[in-house]
Amino acid sequence: MHPQRTLQARRANIVTLDVDAIVNAANSSLLGGGGVDGAIHRAAGPQLLEACRQLHGCRAGQAKITAGFRLPARYVIHTVGPVWRGGRDGEPELLRSCYIRSLDLARPHAIRSIAFPSISTGSYGYPVEAAAQVAVATVRAWLEANPADPMDPAGPTNLDVTFCCFSDNDLAVYESLLGPSAPA
Ligand code: AR6
C-alpha cells in the first residue's frame, strides 16, 4: 500500500494544472510545434523556447527537463513519442521509454506530482486505446519498482501521477483502465 500516492485520469488543459511537473509531447527539435507542445510554449512564455534551445534536441523515447517559467508547474519534462507506423516499428517500446525516462527525472528534481498528456496520440497517430494501455501499465510498473518510502512520506518517490486527457473519449479510455478513482 502506498497511501500517499494517487494515480488518476482527469480531463483538463495540461497548462492549467498545479503540479510539480507537466510532461510535454514534443518533437525531436524541442523547438515547439502544435498540439500540447504549442499550448505549453504559449502558456510558459518565450523563456521556455530559450531553455529548450540549450538542450540540443531529444531523441524519441528520451526525456529532458526545463523550468516551467510562467506555468503553474515548476518543471516541464519534454519527451518525444514515436510516430505511429502500424505498431511493428518499435512504437510500444519507445512509448514505454517516454514514460519511464520522464518518471526517472522525478527523484533528482524532488518532483512529487506529475501530469502526462496522452503522448503520441495526436499528430503522431498512435491509437489512444493502445497508447493508454502502455501508459497505464508502464506507470504502474514504475511505481511498483520505485516504492514510496514509509519513513519519508514527503519524499520524492511518493509521486502523484495524473493522466491529463483532452477529450471525453480519451478520459473514458483511461478510466476504463484505471477504474474511476483507483489508488496507485
Ligand atoms: N492539454 C492536454 N492535452 C492536450 C492539449 C492540452 N492543452 N493539447 C492537445 N492535447 P499532440 P503527439 C492532447 O498532437 O501526438 C506537436 O506538434 C491531444 O488531444 O499534441 O505526441 C509536437 O511538436 C492528444 O490527445 O502530440 C510534435 O511535432 C495528445 O495531447 C507532435 O505534435 C497528444 O497530441 C507530437 O505529436
Domain presence at residue 159:
yes
**Ligand 1 atom with least separation from CA of 14:** 1
Percent of the chain with pLDDT over 70: 92
Q: Which of 22, 24, 36 to mutate to test the pocket of ligand 1 (most atoms within 8 A of CB)?
A: 36
Ligand 1 centre from 117 Cα, in Å?
7
Domain presence at residue 9:
no
Nearest CA to ligand 1 atom 21: 120
**180 pLDDT higher than 80:** no
Ligand 1 centre from 78 Cα, in Å?
12
Instruction: Give the domain extent around 47.
Output: 21-178
Domain presence at residue 6:
no
Q: What per-residue confidence (pLDDT) applies to 68? A: 98
- How many distinct structural domains can be found in the chain? 1
Q: Which residue, 149, 140, 118, is CA-closest to 131?
A: 118
Rg (CA), the chain: 15
Cβ 27 under 6 angstroms from ligand 1: yes
* Tens of pLDDT, residues 93-106: 999 999 999 999 99
Q: How far is CA 67 from CA 6, 9, 21, 23, 136, in A?
A: 24, 24, 9, 12, 26
Domain presence at residue 3:
no
**92 pLDDT higher than 90:** yes
- Give this complex's ipTM: 0.99
Domain presence at residue 10:
no
Q: Which residue, 117, 41, 35, is CA-closest to 79?
A: 117
Cβ 173 under 6 angstroms from ligand 1: no
Ligand 1 centre from 118 Cα, in Å?
7
Q: What per-residue confidence (pLDDT) applies to 168? A: 98
Q: What per-residue confidence (pLDDT) applies to 149? A: 74
Domain presence at residue 104:
yes
* Tens of pLDDT, residues 137-167: 999 999 999 987 777 665 556 899 999 999 9
32 pLDDT band, cuts 50/70/90, is very high
Looking up residue 39, the CATH number of its domain turns out to be 3.40.220.10
